[in-house]
Homo-oligomer: A and B are copies of this chain.
Amino acid sequence: MKNKVVIPREVAESPCSTDEIRAAAERLRDVVVYTPLLNSPALDARLDARVFVKAENLQRIGAFKFRGAYNFLSRLSPAKRGRGVVAYSSGNHAQGVAYAAHLLGIAATIVMPEDAPKVKLEGARRWGAAIRPYDRKTESREAIAQELASATGATLVRPFDDPDIIAGQGTVGLELAAQLEEAGHSADLLLVPCGGGGLLAGVSTAMRELSPETRIFGVEPENYDDHRRSLKAGRRVRIKGDSFTRCDALAATIPGEITWSVNRRNVNGFITVSEAEVGTAIGFAARHLKTVLEPGGAVALAAILHEKLPARGKTIAIVASGGNIDNALFTACLRDYSS
């Protein structure tokens, strides 16, 4: 019976716990950026609210994805480390895996779309990852990655639907809860960008335990509202996903199985924002928060700026999940932005 794995009932039911997140935080302690909470008197005055922005664009590789990737990779056995890792990603998970692999001395191959933002392609290459480009219209990144993994014995690092990835991302929530408490605040609302749902699953797990009174919302681009539809339908809904979005980091077409099992219990609702609203948020962040956000990283700020939820008098925490934006798109957002 030595090798039988017994899964305790509560773990089987909840693939993510705050204790797992705390363990991830321990693993990450010496390599992660404990990102600051930004705020802006101009923003607070405009909304008549207190808004705190967890600036994960200031995380290693410019996005929260490093947390989950490092947590996952650091748990691999020496034998598995020796056979390398494979990942697929539009860019931030790619960079997270590449940089974590660099730190841990693991070979990494990343399957990335040919049209990924240049800053993300460069970021992944900088840390020595091999890039396998693919055509988003004709090829399946999952299939390519699975094939590479099978051929080489490399471990596949899923972008969100994995307990270790979710626990790593959840450390954002641990820090946020501690920072708010230290500042003497309690969040009425929390808004988190949502693509595959990994960040939301981790953060909502930590916040549900540490700040149970906070209402939690996922934010999606309006063309990629699979979570909103899934919540309404009471089951995971796949959308077509052939619409345009500048939020490349959030262009998932169906909630993850594991992430959904967490999010459907933790989250109070989903909100969508338009491409134009996201552009305004990027301009606002540069002007008033002096910080650089990518479209996918700016959706929660966009939601609150455009008052998708009643904000007045409330204490609001939002996660700004990444800042990897090409200069052409960034300058377009800055040009369109006024006041």
Taking Cβ atoms with an 8 Å cutoff, the residues of A that contact B are: 36, 38, 41-42, 45, 57-58, 60, 62, 99, 119, 122, 126, 283, 286-287, 289-293, 323, 327, 330-331, 334-335, 337, 339
Residues of chain B contacted by A339 (CB below 8 angstroms): 122
Smallest Cβ-Cβ distance to A103: which chain B residue = B41
State how many angstroms separate the Cβ of A264 from the closest Cβ of chain B.
32
Supply 21 A–B pairs (Cβ within 8 Å), ascending by A: A36-B36, A36-B58, A38-B58, A41-B60, A41-B99, A57-B290, A58-B289, A58-B291, A62-B290, A119-B287, A122-B339, A286-B327, A290-B293, A291-B291, A291-B292, A292-B292, A327-B334, A327-B337, A331-B331, A331-B334, A334-B334
The answer to whether residues A286 and B292 also contact, given A327-B334, A339-B122 and a CB cut-off of 8 A, is: yes
Docked complex Cα distance between A293 and B62 (Å)? 17
Q: A286-B327, A290-B291, A331-B335 are in contact. List 15 more A-B contacts (CB 8 A).
A: A36-B36, A38-B58, A41-B99, A42-B126, A57-B290, A58-B289, A58-B290, A58-B291, A283-B327, A286-B330, A290-B292, A290-B293, A291-B292, A327-B334, A331-B334
Contacts of A58 in B (CB 8 A): 36, 38, 289-291
Compute how far the CA of A62 lies from the CA of B290 in the bound complex, rounded to whole angstroms: 7
Chain B residue nearest in CB terms to A99: B41
Residues of B within 8 A of A62 (CB): 290
Q: How far is the CA of A199 from the CA of B203 in the complex (A)?
A: 39
